[in-house]
Every structure is written in C-alpha cells, then in structure tokens.
Amino acid sequence: MLKMKCIAIDDEPIALQQLVSYCKKIPFLELVAECLSAYEAFQILDNESIDLMFVDINMPDLSGMDFVKMLVQKPMLIFTTAYSKYATEGFKVDALDYLLKPISFEDFSRSAIKAHTQFELLQKKDTVPVTIEDGSNYLFIKSEYKYIRIHLDEILYIEGMKEYIRIHLRHKNPVMTLISLSSLENTLPRDRFMRVHRSFIINLQGFISVERYRILFENNTLIPVSDSYKELFQRYLDKNILGK
C-alpha cells in the first residue's frame, strides 16, 4: 500500500492532537509534522515533500485559507473547521474535502480514503500522454479512468505537482492527470502557451494583467514569472504590447 506523507495544522492544541491521533490510526498516512500555525507549516513544506495537508481554516495571524492561497505548489488539501460557512470558500481553492468539528474518526477516515484513492490513481503509470491532434483546438487527457476533451481556450494555466499536473479551466473544476509539466510543455502549441515558472505553464490569451512579473488570472490567482523565464516572457510582452 502506497503511503502518503501528511501534515496536520491547527492552532488549538486539543484539536491538533486529535488530528495527530487519527493520522496515526490510518496505515497509509505517514504523519511528518504537527503544526500550531501556518508559519510552522511553511517551514515544513520548504524542506519536505508533502502529499496531503489537514488544515484548520480559522487560525489567528494567518488563516488556513490565506495560507493555502499563498502556496505555489499545493499538496492535496482537506480543510477542518468549526464553521460550516467556510465550506464553499474551501472548495474554491481546490480542497479535496471539508471536515466539520467536532470531527469523528469515521468522517476523518472517509476523507483520508478519498485522498488516498486519488493519490493511487495519480501514481499509476498507465496514464496515456496528453495528446493534441495536428491543427486541433483540443487536447485529450486521461483522468480518473475517463478520457476528457479540453478546448485549449478553456485553459487558464497548468500547474505542475510532482509527477502529475492540474489543468485550471475557465468556470470549471480543475482536471488532474499523471504527466510531467515538461512533457506537456513539448506537446502544447508554443504560440499559445508559455512556461513562466518551473511549476506553471500559462495560456498567453488567458491572463488579465501583469505587474512586476506577477501574472493575474480571472480566478484571482497570481503566478510569478521566475528569473529563468523573465527574458522570454518579456519578449512576448514587447512584441504584443500597444501604446509603449
């Protein structure tokens, strides 16, 4: 059975210890750290490869929601909170699940199994490559045993996450599949898509604005242009900008 590295984040010591206890009871979860703040979690993510996070939303100084929005590369995410009003907002940042306190072990197990099922699917090596037919405006991917056709104009940006990618779409939920970002980069038409960061490829027609090499999209996501891609991106801007 494949194990998932996870962390638990909650500013309440009792709630945190409950999460820790539950994690230790699930054989496929490997608890890497328990954090009393989002700032502690940042340090863990800088040094460890994490597959899953259990994150409390309502924390002082830096909320769980704001913490997640700040991450460039996001592990799978399960939110925990005492307030049901946060559920909708949680799914806007691609949370896999939402646990309402007090959390029962049954509910925790259900969420953990859901995460592990997705994790195992993403680890399988039989996923066919993403393909685009010559002259086509569509790409075809395999995701969760289904073949999905995605119009290129629907894509906002593509996020690389270890061995798989997450394709962020206009007005639709993201789609994930097992392929490297570099492999996909070689498949996409270069006049329409550009890699701007080791973790991101953007649709050149999909962003709203650029300020100080930070690219804003309609879902309010900001993607940084890393130093190694700034020259290429700047050439694109210089070629297409009006009113210099």
Q: What is the pLDDT of residue 22?
A: 97
Residue 164, domain member (yes or no): yes
Residue 132, domain member (yes or no): no
Residue 128, domain member (yes or no): no
What are the Cα distances from residue 53, in Å, to 3, 46, 63, 136, 243? 14, 14, 14, 38, 46
Residue 85, domain member (yes or no): yes
Residue 131, domain member (yes or no): no
* Calpha distance 87→133 (Å, rounded): 39
Residue 45 tokens read as 């993510």
Q: What is the pLDDT along the chain (244 residues), one digit of tens a residue?
A: 789 999 999 999 999 999 999 999 999 999 999 999 999 999 998 888 899 999 999 898 898 989 988 887 778 899 998 876 665 565 556 788 889 999 999 999 999 998 988 787 666 544 444 666 555 688 878 776 667 888 899 999 999 887 788 899 988 888 888 888 888 888 888 889 999 998 999 999 999 999 999 999 987 889 999 999 999 999 999 888 765 5
Which of 58, 88, 123 is the endpoint of a domain? Answer: 123
Strand partners, 151: 138
Same domain for 59 and 13?
yes
Residue 100's domain spans which residues? 4-123
Same domain for 146 and 117?
no
User: Nearest CA to 104 among 18, 33, 175?
Assistant: 18
Residue 131 per-residue DSSP state: B
- Per the structure, the count of domains in the chain is 2
Task: Please give the torsion angle defined by the CA atoms of residues 1, 144, 157 and 193, in that order, rounded to the nearest 10 degrees.
Answer: 110
Instruction: Tell me if residue 179 falls in helix, strand or coil.
Output: coil
Residue 133, domain member (yes or no): no
Q: What is the pLDDT of residue 32?
A: 96
Amino acid at 240: N
Same domain for 163 and 214?
yes
Residue 173, domain member (yes or no): yes
